[in-house]
Structure formats: structure tokens, C-alpha cells
Amino acid sequence: MIDFLRRVVNTDFLPMNEVRKIKVVLIMTFLLIVTAATVGFAFSFVYDDVVTIVVMAVFVLGAGFIYLLIRFNRIMAAIHVTIVYTIALMMFYTQGTDSFYAYLFFYISLSVIVFYQELYIYLTYGTAVAGYGVFYILMHADNLLAPEDIPGSIYAYVVLLLLFYVIFLIQSLHNEKLYTDLNLEWVKLNQVIGSYQDFTLYHLEEIRKREKGIPFYEDRAFRKAVDELSVFVCEQLKEHGKDITNVLDLYIYIHERGLAKIIDNEELSTSTKKIANRLDKYLLNRRTDMVSILMNFFTRFRTSEPYRPNRYEYHLGRLAPATDEQIVALAFVYRYLANEPSAFDAWGEPLKTMSHEEICQLFAAPEMEEFLSDGQVAFFKENADLFRDHLGRKG
């Protein structure tokens, strides 16, 4: 119970499937409480005792079925079953009595559906519940109104129910739009992060080669630490922890040979190839999920620069108000593009420097309006030969 409450508190940091699982558990608990309360006065409904007993038995079996779905991680199926369970409980009340308490079950059913925050579920089940609720109110108007109510007040019940439905429909649409925008933003951000990480890995490899160092995954201290940690963790889950060393050797071998050569090797078994394919996303010598996790972990503990109003300003005209400063900055940009690997080659590696013609095309592109003014571009075109002769790549 303590672990479950901790997960409820930290739902912002859980994957969507885990959040849905928590919601299903909470709804199932709520339905069990409502069902237990129903047993006490269900025999006062218009149903025969045999029918009441059978219905209550079906509800108990339904709760057990929901538990099995949660146990085997069939979360979406469990969501649908809990909603059907709630609607069935609502039908049991509304068909068994026409009192005001049955009317409240329309709000309870809509609340359960809203709680899941799934738009298509709300549009299907929620619309059906709201439609049936309006029909029920109009058919049982006499029992819902008190003798002293004014004529036409039954429509207040209809309006309140429809308002409840419409308000949460708008909220569901807003949440769906918000999730879509966040997902698109994450896709764009992930592409930017991927570019940064590709350049980072490339420059790290260049530094390693220049200093004649060995690859990180071949370092003896690193391999010894990973081996000891792997055996320790494996022993907590299995009887023989040393079995993990074979997987660790395969993991290092993938770094040295590459996944493609392992897959094409006919001497290796199918199970070995499957394990190698699963380990591929944890490699350390290219951009993988493991590298992303490590980089995010290290950068989280680095203090950023103090806030400056122009911290995210990239236009040279606003970064350097003086004309001579703009010319110097433009020269720096040209020299960097002409001498540093900033363009991808045919294999997608940042190994290629831009030629003078490519830099001219880049400066003339419409996208450069965010970085260079028309005057700066015109100055570059007029003095392109000087840029090439004095700042271009030598040799």
C-alpha cells in the first residue's frame, strides 16, 4: 500500500501505461465500495430476489476479471471493463428504481469516464451515458420532481447533465490538444538533442584519437566495474550470477565488430543474435538510449550561465550593434563553416567541411533571415572572394 501511494504521488514521472494502471486500480477500488454499499438495499429494488442475487454475483465476477486484467498488464482492456462495469451498475440502479439516487449515477458514470482522460473513450461511452440520462429524466420526470416544484423544472435536470457532459468534453479536447502539442514539441526537441549528441560523440572520438587514448568500453577498470556490478545485480534475480558475463562479453563485442556483422555471422546462434539486437540500443560508441541517459545525467548537475536577455538571441544584427563587430562576427561564422566539420557526408557522419559555394548558398537561403540581415548578406556577396582567399580552408 505504501508503494502504491508513492506511485500515485509521483505519477508525473511515470510512463502513461503506469499512470493508466494506477487509475484502473483506483476506479476498481471505488467500484468495489459502491458495489458493497449496493448489496445492503439492492433487494428493495423492483427486481426479483433471484435476479438481484445473480446480478450481484456478476458484479463480483466482473471485479475479479478486472483484477486479472491488471495482474496480466492488460490495462486498456481493464479500462473498458471498468467503464462497462460502471454503466452496468448505473443501469441496475436506473432500471430498479426511479428515485433521485438513480439520477446521481449518471454523474458518477461520467466522472469515472472523465477520470481516464481518454478522448475517444469519453466520446463513445460518455455520449451514450449522457443520451440515456436525458431519456431517463424525461421518462421519469414525475418521480424526480417534488410536489412543490414549479412546472418545467425537470428541464433543469437535463440542462445540468448536459452541461456536465459538455464541460468535460471541452476539457478532454483541450487535454488532447495539449498532449499532441507536447508530443510534437518533444519530437522536434529530440531531433535537436540528437544533432547535438552526434556532434558531441564525433568530437569526443576526435579528442580520443588525438590523445591516443583507448575507447571507453575497452578500459580495464570500466570493464571490471561493469562485470562486478552485473554479477551482483544478476545474483539478486537469478541463482547463478556469473551467467551474465557471457552477455557482457557479447555487449563489448558488439562495440568492436558492430551489430550488422554479428547478425550476418552464420556461426552464431539465433538466440545470440536476438540478445545482440536487444543490446544494440545500449551501446556507448554511438547515439543510443544509453548515451542519451548518460548525457542527460551529467548535464543535469552542471550549472548553467546566469540569465541574459539575449541568451537565446542568434541574429548578428542584435548581438553586435556596431557594424564593424557584425563584420568580425560574419568572418568568424565563415571561417568556422569553411574549416570545421559541420556538414554531413553521404553516410550521415559530420566529417565534411562546407565548400565556398555551399556557404554562399547557405547565406542566400531564406532560413538565414533569422541570423543575418540583408545588409550583412549583401556585404558577404560583394566580398565573397576575400572571404574565400583569407578565411577559407587552406590546401
Residue 114, domain member (yes or no): yes
pLDDT tens, the chain, 395 aa long: 666 566 656 655 567 778 888 889 899 999 889 888 887 777 778 788 888 888 888 988 998 999 899 888 899 999 999 999 999 999 888 888 777 777 888 999 999 999 988 888 999 999 999 999 999 888 887 777 665 666 777 888 889 999 999 999 998 898 888 888 888 887 887 777 777 888 888 888 888 888 888 887 888 888 888 888 888 888 877 767 777 888 888 888 888 888 888 888 888 888 888 888 888 888 888 888 788 888 778 877 777 777 777 777 888 888 888 888 999 999 999 998 888 877 666 665 666 788 899 899 999 888 888 889 889 999 999 999 999 988 887 65
pTM assigned to the model: 0.57
For residues 262 and 235, membership in a common domain is answered with: yes
Question: Rounded distance, CA 169 to CA 165, Å?
Answer: 6
For residues 295 and 325, membership in a common domain is answered with: no
For residues 266 and 355, membership in a common domain is answered with: no
Question: Rounded distance, CA 348 to CA 269, Å?
Answer: 31
CA distances from 339 to 196, 336, 358, 368 (A): 19, 5, 13, 20
For residues 338 and 221, membership in a common domain is answered with: no
Residue tagged 533571415 (cell numbers): 369
Residue 203, domain member (yes or no): no
Residue 188, domain member (yes or no): no
Hey, what long-range contacts does 374-381 have (CB within 8 A, 24 or more apart)?
Answer: 376/316, 376/317, 376/326, 376/330, 379/327, 379/330, 380/330, 380/334
- Domain boundary, last residue among 124, 155, 181: 181
For residues 158 and 63, membership in a common domain is answered with: yes
For residues 82 and 156, membership in a common domain is answered with: yes
For residues 49 and 160, membership in a common domain is answered with: yes
- Domain boundary, last residue among 266, 300, 334: 300
Residue 50, domain member (yes or no): yes
What's the sign of the alpha-carbon dihedral 304, 310, 312, 318?
negative
**Number of structural domains the chain divides into:** 3
For residues 134 and 38, membership in a common domain is answered with: yes
Hey, what long-range contacts does 16-21 have (CB within 8 A, 24 or more apart)?
Answer: 17/75, 20/75, 20/76, 20/79, 20/116, 21/70, 21/73, 21/75
Question: Rounded distance, CA 215 to CA 221, Å?
Answer: 12
Q: What is the pLDDT of residue 246?
A: 83
Residue 204, domain member (yes or no): no
The domain containing residue 126 runs over which residues?
A: 2-181
Ramachandran quadrant class, 352 (left: phi over 0; alpha: psi -120 to 50; beta: rest): beta
Q: 340: which residues sit within 8 A by CB, 6+ positions away?
A: 353
Grid coordinates of 306: 546566469
Question: Rounded distance, CA 28 to CA 83, Å?
Answer: 10
Q: What is the pLDDT of residue 7?
A: 61
Residue 209, domain member (yes or no): no
For residues 267 and 335, membership in a common domain is answered with: no
For residues 16 and 97, membership in a common domain is answered with: yes
Residue 311, domain member (yes or no): no
For residues 295 and 336, membership in a common domain is answered with: no
For residues 377 and 256, membership in a common domain is answered with: no
- Domain boundary, last residue among 272, 300, 328: 300
Residue 31, domain member (yes or no): yes
